[in-house]
Structure 1
Amino acid sequence: MSNFLTLQAAAAERLAQHLPSASTLRVAGIVPARDAAAYASPAVSATFVGASTADFALLLVDRSFLDAAGGAGLVGAVSAVDVLRPALEQAASAFDAGVLGELREEDAAGLLNDPETAVFELNSAHQANDGGVPFGWFAIRVRDNGAVNSGGGLTAAGRSAQDTDMAARLGLISNVEMALTVEIGRTRMSVRDALALEPGRVIELDRSAGAPADVLLNGRLIAHGEVVVVDQDYAVRITRILDGAEGAH
C-alpha cells in the first residue's frame, strides 16, 4: 500500500471513530466513486493544507443524526458543518501538522470524478450485517508537495522544495484568526439530561482536580497548561507544547 493510501485509510478510520452517530461506524474499504455518485450533492467538503494538501468530501445517506447532535429545533442549535468539524479535524490529523480550512456544503462530483481520489465506504454495525445502504462515503484526494524517492520518502531536493513551498503557502494564512480554547474537562450526557440542567446543578468532568488543562487550536490539541488568574481575569500558563503525533490523539 502506498504511503498516501496508508494516510488516507488512517484518516477514514479516525473520521469513522469520531462521527457523532448513535451507532458504531467502521470503514468497509475502498469502493468505486460511482457507488457514492448518487449522493454527491450536497456533500460536506474541506481542504487540508500542510506538508501535503488533501481534499475531503463526506457524503451521508441519512443526515438525521446531525439534527440530533446539533440540537435542531432548540435555541442556539449547531449547524451541520459545525457538528461534523471535530470528526474532520480528527481525519486531518492523520496528515500531521497543518490547517483544515472552512467546511462547505457543495456538490462533490468533481472530486469523485478525479482518478486520484480514494473513496471509503462507511457502515454501521447493523448495515454491515444486513447488507443495507451504507451509512455514507468519505472521499480523499491527496496532492503531493514534493518528489518521492523509490523508498517511499522524500528526496533531499523534494524536502527542500516542500519546505519552501509549505512556508510560502502557510505564509498566506499566517494572519488568519483561529479559535484558541482551553478545556479543563468534558463529559457526555443524553439530550434528556441536558434539557434537565438548571442553576445549581453540578456536572462531573472526566478530569481530576489539579490535572493540566488542554489547549486547543481550532479544536486540535496543541498544548497543556494550568489555569491562573491575572488581574482578576482567567488565563492559562502553557506548561507543555505537544508535537504533531501527540496532538493527534
Structure 2
Amino acid sequence: MSDVLEPTLLAEALAVTVAASLPAVTPLMPGPAQPGSPHVTAAFAGGAIAELDGGVPGAVAVLVGTELVEALAASPLGALDVASAVQPALDAAARQLGAHARAARTIDLDADGYDVAAELGGSFTTVPLIGAGIAAAVLVPDTTLAGAREPLAEDAERPTDLGTTGAGSDSTGETPAPFVPAFATAAPPRGLELLQGVDMEVTVELGRTRMTVRDLLALTPGAVLELDRAAGSPADLLVNGRLVARGEVVVVDEDFGLRVTEILDANAAV
C-alpha cells in the first residue's frame, strides 16, 4: 500500500519536517495548509528554493522571517547565506516527497516584479510555521504534491532517474486572496541562537606558500613544499574561511585532530 498522503495532509507533513530542521529559538508548529498567494512574500524577509530530482516534479521553497535573516547577516563569522541555512530543511522536505533536493538558491523577495507563483511554476500550497508569530512558511507547487512518491529514508541513495526540475503551470488565472497569517503576534527579539542548527564548514590550515606557475607545473610525487610556518607552530582553525581559533595537531584513533589552544576574538579573527 502506498504511503503517499493526500495533498493537503502531505503539505502539512512537509511543514512538520521543515519545522524540525529550521534554526529557531522557540519550537515551530505548522498552521493549516492553504492555497498559495503571491502576497505571501510580503510577510517574510527572505527565503530559498530547491528543485527536486528523482522523478518528482517541481521544487520546494521555504520563506523565513526577519529574525533569521538578520541573525545570519550579523553572524560574527560574517554574513551567512539564507540558502545554506535552509538547505537541511529543504533536504528533509524532499525526502518526505520521495525525492532529493538540489542545491538551494536564495530568493530575492525584494526584486522588482518578483512573482513567487511564477518561480514555482503555477498554483501552489502554503503552510505557515508558527513560533512567536509567523516565523516561516513552506511553499510547494500543487503538481509537486500530486507527483509525490513514498518517503525516502534519510540515508537513501540519490536516484539515477532524474525527474523534471520545473514546476507545473496549472494556474487558474484567478486573483488569489491576500495572504493573512493566522495567529500572528509580535515576535520578541531573537539572538544568534537561531544559528545553532546551521551547518558550517570547518577547516584546519597548517600553513601557506606562494609559487609560480612554473614551479607548480614542476611538482612531482615526493616533492616537499616549504610553508610559512615553523615546525611546532599552532595550526589555524577556520570556519567558512574565517580564522576563529588556533591549536595543536594531534592523532586520534589514527585520524588527525586539532586540540584547540586559543580562541580568537572578533577583532583578531581576520
TM-score, with structure 2 as normaliser: 0.46
Q: Indicate the structure with greater strand content.
A: 1
TM-score, with structure 1 as normaliser: 0.49
In terms of Rg, which structure is larger?
2
**Greater relative contact order: 1 or 2 (C-alpha under 8 angstroms, separation 6 or more)?**
2
